[in-house]
Amino acid sequence: MFRYLIICLFIALFAVDGVAQVTVGLHGGANFSRMDFTNNPEYKFTEIKAQSGFLGGVVVQFIPEKHAGLQAEFNYSQKGWIEMDTTMGKELQYKNKLDYVELPILTHINIGAGNFRGLLNLGPYLGYALNSSTKLTNLQTGTSQTTKHDFDNDKDNRIDFGLLLGFGFEYRLALGKLAIEARYSIGLGDLNKDKASQSEVSQFRVLGVLLRYSIPLQARESKTDQQ
Q: Which pLDDT does position 227 carry in this prediction?
A: 37
Q: How many residues does the chain have?
A: 227
Q: Which pLDDT does position 71 carry in this prediction?
A: 96
Q: Which pLDDT does position 179 carry in this prediction?
A: 97
Give the whole-angstrom CA distance, residue 110 versus residue 118. 6
- Go through the domains of the chain in sequence order and give each one's CATH number: 2-216 (2.40.160.20)
Q: Which pTM was predicted?
A: 0.83
Q: Which pLDDT does position 66 carry in this prediction?
A: 84
pLDDT along the chain (227 residues), means of 10: 51 52 95 88 76 97 90 97 84 94 96 93 97 93 92 91 97 94 95 74 94 83 41
Q: Which pLDDT does position 197 carry in this prediction?
A: 63
39 Ramachandran zone, left/alpha/beta (phi>0; psi -120 to 50) = left
Q: Which pLDDT does position 151 carry in this prediction?
A: 92
Residue 10's contacts (CB-CB under 8 Å, 6 or more residues apart) are none
Secondary structure letter of residue 89 according to DSSP: G
